[in-house]
Amino acid sequence: MTLHVQSAVSLKPFNTFGVDVQARLFAEARNDDEVRQALAYSAEHDMPLLVIGGGSNLLLSGDVQALVLRMASRGIRIVREDCLEAIVEAEAGEPWHPFVQSCLELGLAGLENLSLIPGT
């Protein structure tokens, strides 16, 4: 896959405050390779990099003179599980509430009190 870098993109749909500012450059990373491509692009073009998720903890006060990289990767996997605990790995763009729901569906308890918190 090749990272698709766009110019002058509104960040309004990418922050929960709905602040209508523009990113000088914008891309979405759906996998590790696209993250590496964004890092290389940023370095090659001497461009700052701002990494965002779902935008729920993001308050923008003006246009962003950077490459804004939105983490769009999804998925979870159980790294290790025994009778006492489990280690679950989530992709950087995995929304929190679906992550909690997936853990519960897998029979992994402990996160249910943290459901409905916005974020990735």
Q: How far apart are CA 120 and CA 17, in angstroms?
A: 16
Mean pLDDT of 7-16: 96
Q: How far apart are CA 22 and CA 81, in angstroms?
A: 43
Q: How many domains does the chain have?
A: 2
Provide, rounded to the nearest whole percent, the portion of the chain with pLDDT above 90: 77
Query: Residue 119 has what pLDDT?
Result: 66
Query: Residue 13 has what pLDDT?
Result: 96
Mean pLDDT over the full length of the chain? 93
Range of the domain at 87: 76-114
Mean pLDDT of 21-31: 98
Kindly report the pTM of this predicted structure.
0.86
Query: Residue 1 has what pLDDT?
Result: 60
Which residues lie closer than 8 Å to 43 by C-beta, 6 or more apart? Answer: none
Residue 77 forms beta bridges with which residues?
Answer: 89
Q: Indicate whether 23 and 67 sit together in one domain.
A: yes
Is the CB of residue 71 less than 8 Å from the CB of residue 39? no
Residue type, 60: L
Q: Indicate whether 82 and 50 sit together in one domain.
A: no
Is the CB of residue 22 less than 8 Å from the CB of residue 60? no
Alpha helices in 17-115 (DSSP H): 32-44, 96-105
Q: Is residue 1 included in any domain, yes or no?
A: no
Q: Is residue 45 included in any domain, yes or no?
A: yes
